[in-house]
Structure 1
Amino acid sequence: MELRSACQPAPDRVAPAVNEDLVLSGPEFVVILDGATAPPGVDSGCRHTVAWLVGQLGRQLVVPLLGRSEAPLADLLADAIAAVCAEHASTCDLANPDSPSSTVSIVRATAGEVEHLVLADSPVVLRSPDQRITVVADNRIELLPEYTFEAVRRLRNQAGGFWVASTEPKAAYEAVAGTTERADVELVALLTDGASRYAERYGHTWEELLEVLTGEGPQALIDRVRAYDAAALTGSFRGKRHDDATAALWYL
């Protein structure tokens, strides 16, 4: 197996640039996380940064994955969220709905199958040996009835809203998860939305995105996205102009 990845902070972050994305890997797995940057002035109730939460979640996930745990991915994520909550429950208000949060995507390969879990907007793309592409995406945040700060706050980690890794271990069981026969997977791409916007915002097909990844590499995909971000007209998209970006390409 071969893994290539790139992970970069948004170009408009104030120095020193803090990257709230993270990519982690081992012989049989890849994990990516994308922390949700809080709007200026929001009281999260937490003394820790979003990057801290991302790092702690990654640490808690990697230990059982490296230990070749056979537990379902949702169980591993629920345990990771619970463990991180225990680390700062005594110092932070975990009941605050604006607590730091993160997307989580995990792919784990065994001898017979490839498992995936996607929580929030960091999609996974699978390509088969005969070039069939399957996109695994959790797009519930795109389906919200409105996108005001209060609406997003009210619907975060709620039924009928959207789910992220934050202070609710049960969110792990709301992830989009499944398995694919190992023989039906040639390669896997894992993307935070700062990289997946090449297809989701800028109109390219997923096939074209994979062509860039396989032909030029993860950094080239991020570079192309950065060029689109810089040229985009203000108001032509929802959300941030620039974002942290991670792209991982895993050949099985």
Structure 2
Amino acid sequence: MVTKPFLVLISANLFVLSTAVVVFGTFYPMVYELAGLGNISVGAPYFNLLFGPIAIVSLFVMGAVPFLGWSRTSEKPSIGKPVILLLVSLLLAFAIVTYSTMHYEPVGAEWSNWALFTVWVSLWVLISHIFSAIAKVGKTSLSALVAHIGIAIAAFGCVMNAEYSYEITKRLGPGSQADFGDYQVTYVDTNLYIGRNFTAEQAIIEIADKENHQRTMVATPEKRHYSVRVMTMTELQ
């Protein structure tokens, strides 16, 4: 149980479980409708709820890879260093999630256990692999190290974007304003102009910090219509 093949076995079973989750979520509504029971939809909440624990366990297993050998005859792994790295990862994850919650509180940020655990295991993979590369612990290949680190970074980005990104939808016109967190957005005016191969509607939007009014930014998003290609595109400057 303290070898890489055992971790590979766990990972393979997790992939099988993930496949079953996808198959069930995809075909269950079809079977439900064919059985004459009505219409039902399976969306993001179902997949998020079931894939969350699978992803966390997978990342935890992935982080242990550098410390184990391929056979029972390999050198017995030390439990001290992995435990220390796990604790360091947990402290860093707690600090990151706490900062994100406090920093984005004006726009409704709340504490997220999903974010804490996912960031924890993502940092665990990242730190354990970097440590093993520097200290030359184990015999994990460079390609595996890079791949695992990439997965950890992707998981970190996914959960932070899911839990700590916010948006509002407002209809604004020249002279109107909207508040978003610590900022006040003012729609100043609309410019109509003709480019070399397009016509454009450009908005002038002023973004001001409520506390420090000297920190003012100007955004000029625009809609461009290319008559030759009959195409409308959005530009942000």
Q: How would you bin the TM-score normalised by the shorter chain?
A: under 0.3
Higher relative contact order (CA 8 A, sep 6+): 1
TM-score, length-scaled by structure 1: 0.23
TM-score, length-scaled by structure 2: 0.24
Normalized per residue, which structure has more strand? 1
Normalized per residue, which structure has more helix? 2
